[in-house]
Amino acid sequence: MRVLGIETSCDETATAVVERDSKGCGYILSNIVRSQADEHAPYGGVVPEIAARAHIKILDRLIKKAMEEAGSLLQNMDAVAVTSGPGLIGGLLVGLMTAKAIAFSAKKPLIAINHLEGHALTARLTDQVAFPYLFLLVSGGHTQIILIRDFGKYKRLGTTIDDALGEAFDKTARLLGLPYPGGPAVEQAAYNGDPKRIVLPRPLKNRLSPDFSFSGLKTAVRYAMARLSPLKKQDVADICAAFQTAVTDILSDKVLLSFALFREIFPKQEESVLVVAGGVAANKTIRYRLEKLCSIYGFLFIAPPSDLCTDNAAMIAWAGAEHWAHGKSSHLDIGPRARWPLDENATPRIGAGRKGSKV
């Protein structure tokens, strides 16, 4: 089957065409992403109104481009999959209304996808990962550890109780006067820094819960800056290195806890897999530490290529194909959801299941 995917939940306008064969293998026929980073950079974060307007301007063209690159016509599509939450409501509306119009006029099924499910199932497209597996999502809007038991059976083990990790990177960068998006800038500066000179806290580390908290770290960065002011280039590098080490320690601690939970729930599982995705998964220090942790504790480490780890529409088209293979589609009256936790039974947390403005 061939599925057209549309993603507009945050600051990337993305379209893709993905094919799924009868054996369940996936093929990306086209995958177009247009980042709005330049439009938001002057504000140091995503401005929802600017994001929605930028999606409207370009989405039609990107849909056409995705079809052309895939060598497909609308008639050859089996379904239209679109992110309908969680995310910024204006952007979600643009994508959803466009997808509905296409589905209605071309008489194709509409499949509304949870953006988090898109991230969670990407490793099945790229690496044919079988259920069950552990999934760590570290992005600008989310930081969660989810047990992917089976299709549609997702159990949240841990989540942030305040800031998402990417958000913490972005805010730290902004404090330090580094450019947006902050993650790559902090990583770059950290290469020249001493991670031991400045001691930052590790909130919620060594607790029995796999929940995260990052807002205190940002405050600690602010205090460190005040102590060292006026900051020299080396001070900035040292703070970045200390920040990156602190968050890597926290992630390792929580992932280790979730390894134990996974083994408790699936004691007979032959191959245990940790899948990592989201923009922060592009960070080399974090990747290296998690990969090492996996090799020590007998987990297979899988991180999709970075263009499929960050927001894209191939993951939405693929999730749509998985839904369609299970006979699932959506009604045309479905609405967007700014908040939409993947595990609806999990206790709501302040920062969970939401992709809000990063400003």
Size (the chain), residues: 359
Q: Which residues does residue 1 pair with via DSSP β-bridges, in sequence order?
A: none
Q: Which residues does residue 33 pair with via DSSP β-bridges, in sequence order?
A: 14
As measured in angstroms, the least distance from the Cβ of 220 to ligand KG4 is: 18
Indicate the DSSP class of residue 80. E
Distance of alpha carbon 328 from alpha carbon 336, whole angstroms: 18
Nearer to Zn ion, 30 or 139 (CB): 139
Nearer to Zn ion, 109 or 336 (CB): 336
As measured in angstroms, the least distance from the Cβ of 121 to ligand KG4 is: 15
- Residues 148 to 207 in contact with ligand KG4, rule: CB under 6 A: 166, 169-170, 181-184, 187
Nearer to ligand KG4, 169 or 299 (CB): 169
Residues 2/18, Cβ–Cβ less than 8 Å: yes
Among 3, 6, 10, 246, the residue binding ligand KG4 under the rule CB under 6 A is 10
Q: How far is CA 327 from CA 16, 110, 214, 341, in A?
A: 21, 12, 40, 22
Nearer to ligand KG4, 158 or 166 (CB): 166
Backbone angles phi, psi at 82, to 5 degrees: -145, 145
Nearer to Zn ion, 174 or 355 (CB): 355
Nearer to Zn ion, 164 or 217 (CB): 164
As measured in angstroms, the least distance from the Cβ of 139 to Zn ion is: 5
Q: How far is CA 241 from CA 169, 188, 229, 291, in A?
A: 12, 9, 17, 19
Nearer to Zn ion, 170 or 311 (CB): 311
Alpha helices in 229-313 (DSSP H): 233-265, 284-297, 306-309
First and final C-alpha spacing in the chain: 40
- Residues 288 to 317 in contact with ligand KG4, rule: CB under 6 A: 310-311
- Residues 95 to 154 in contact with ligand KG4, rule: CB under 6 A: 139-141
Tell me which residue of 342, 359, 357, 358 sits closest to 83, measured CA to CA.
342
Among 280, 294, 308, 316, the residue binding ligand KG4 under the rule CB under 6 A is 280
**Which stretch, 201-209, 275-283, 315-323, 330-338, contacts ligand KG4 (CB under 6 A)?**
275-283
Nearer to ligand KG4, 109 or 278 (CB): 278
Cβ neighbours of residue 293 closer than 8 Å, sequence gap 6 or more = 252, 255, 256, 299
Indicate whether 241 belongs to the interface with ligand KG4 (CB under 6 A): no
Identify what 109 binds: ligand KG4, Zn ion, none; CB under 5 to 8 Å per kind.
none
Q: Tell me the two tokens of residue 5.
A: 């995917």
Strand 12-20 relative to strand 272-277, pairing: unpaired
**Residues engaged in binding Zn ion (CB under 5 A):** 139, 311
Residues 120/132, Cβ–Cβ less than 8 Å: no
As measured in angstroms, the least distance from the Cβ of 284 to ligand KG4 is: 7
* Strand order across the 272-277 sheet: 153-159, 143-150, 133-138, 272-277, 299-302
**Which stretch, 76-84, 151-159, 212-220, 276-284, contacts ligand KG4 (CB under 6 A)?**
276-284
Tell me which residue of 249, 236, 246, 139 sits closest to 190, measured CA to CA.
236
As measured in angstroms, the least distance from the Cβ of 82 to Zn ion is: 14
Identify what 140 binds: ligand KG4, Zn ion, none; CB under 5 to 8 Å per kind.
ligand KG4
Omega before 86 cis (within 30°)?
yes
The residue ranges that bind ligand KG4 (CB under 6 A) are 10, 139-141, 166, 169-170, 181-184, 187, 278-280, 282-283, 310-311
